[in-house]
Amino acid sequence: KPVSIIVAALLPSFGIGSKGTLPWKLRKEMKYFRNVTSKVSDPTKINAVVMGRKTWESIPEKFRPLPNRYNVIITRQDLTKLEKEVGVSYENEINDALIKLQKLDHIEKIFIIGGAEIYNSSIITQLVNNLLITEIKHSKNVEVEMDTYLNKEYILNNFEKRTKDELQSFIGDMDLGETETIVEGDFEYQYEFYTRK
Ligand SMILES: NC(=O)C1=CN([C@@H]2O[C@H](COP(=O)(O)OP(=O)(O)OC[C@H]3O[C@@H](n4cnc5c(N)ncnc54)[C@H](OP(=O)(O)O)[C@@H]3O)[C@@H](O)[C@H]2O)C=CC1
Ligand SMILES: CCc1nc(N)nc(N)c1C#CCc1cc(OC)cc(-c2ccc3c(c2)OCO3)c1
């Protein structure tokens, strides 16, 4: 089963967050995230989304757990003492979570959906082979405040960008829109696909 990181990052710094939330509000990008993480080719299966506890808490309550996906939260808290939310499973170790998900027959794809701690500790394991990075540029030279970043050096040294056709075949028949670049507000972005060198 493929394990993919899916993330939206501002170039060139690969910044991804600010003060516990996203530094931007990009409607079409949110739709892409929902469609890519929800789409299955086998209708009897479901995809898993794996996230850190802080990212879970940053999702508005009315929108969590993310629907039509198996939500997994990674935390160091004592699971026996945690009052658990309905429809969510909890793990103390990322690797254990990924290995358990590999064994579940009804899981089709596994997506790591954030945040920085979870991205940067999972990417250095051989368990992650695909990166779905929405590469964002701000069209004007506005300053975007950020405090969390992807490990840019590790990505560029260990992964390489694939073609749009390869992205299309990975995500299945989903309309990516004609133009490469999408413009929303002060931002312009492209959907990119990287695999391990
Ligand atoms: N641009 C994008 O695409 C995305 C951006 N983000 C942004 O990322 C930021 C959040 O990232 P970050 O602050 O790094 O937080 P995370 O979402 O990565 O969550 C961190 C928490 O996860 C748990 N955790 C982390 N590593 C481990 C481990 N190895 N074992 C067990 N538990 C672990 C801990 O939970 P505990 O404290 O409970 O023990 C830790 O406090 C926000 O700004 C958010 O908006 C998030 C998703 C996507
Ligand atoms: C949607 C942003 C995104 N894009 C990409 N390409 N990859 C990702 N991993 C993510 C993400 C994420 C987690 C997240 C963080 C968040 O911080 C505030 C909010 C949401 C979120 C998830 C679903 C929502 C919603 C917000 O509002 C409407 O429904 C979801």
Span from the CA of 25 to the centroid of ligand 2 (angstroms): 9
> What's residue 176's pLDDT?
85
Inform me whether the pLDDT recorded for 140 exceeds 90: no
End-to-end CA separation in angstroms for the chain: 18
Please answer whether residues 38 and 71 qualify as being in contact, where contact means their C-beta atoms are separated by less than 8 angstroms.
no
Cα(100)–Cα(2) distance, rounded to whole angstroms? 13
Q: Report which residue type is found at 36.
A: V
ipTM: 0.97
> What's residue 179's pLDDT?
77
Residues 18-40 pLDDT 10s: 999 999 999 999 999 999 999 99
The radius of gyration of the chain's CA atoms, rounded to the nearest angstrom, is 16
Q: Work out the widest C-alpha separation in the chain, in whole angstroms.
A: 50
Q: Which two tokens stand for residue 9?
A: 């990052």
Residue 64: DSSP 8-state = -
Determine the distance from the C-alpha atom of residue 142 to the mean position of all C-alpha atoms in its chain, rounded to a whole number: 25
- List, in order, residues 6 or more apart from 25 with CB less than 8 Å away: 185
Q: HSE on the CB side for 21, CA within 13 Å? A: 7
> What's residue 100's pLDDT?
96
Residues 153-195 pLDDT 10s: 999 999 999 999 999 999 998 988 777 899 999 999 999 999 9
Q: For a pocket test of ligand 2, which of 11, 30, 47, 111 has the largest count of ligand atoms closer than 8 A to its C-beta? A: 30
Q: For a pocket test of ligand 1, which of 33, 57, 117, 132 has the largest count of ligand atoms closer than 8 A to its C-beta? A: 117
Please answer whether residues 194 and 160 qualify as being in contact, where contact means their C-beta atoms are separated by less than 8 angstroms.
yes
Atom in ligand 1 nearest the alpha carbon of residue 92: 31
**Any idea what the Cα angle at residue 25 is, between residues 24 and 28, rounded to 5°?**
125
Please answer whether residues 187 and 138 qualify as being in contact, where contact means their C-beta atoms are separated by less than 8 angstroms.
yes
Residues 67-117 pLDDT 10s: 999 999 999 999 999 888 888 999 999 999 999 999 999 999 999 999 999
Q: Is 33 in the pocket of ligand 2 (CB under 6 A)?
A: yes
pTM of the model: 0.97
43 burial (CB, 10 Å; 0-12 / 13-18 / 19+) is: exposed
How do strand 3-10 and strand 130-138 relate by DSSP bridges? parallel
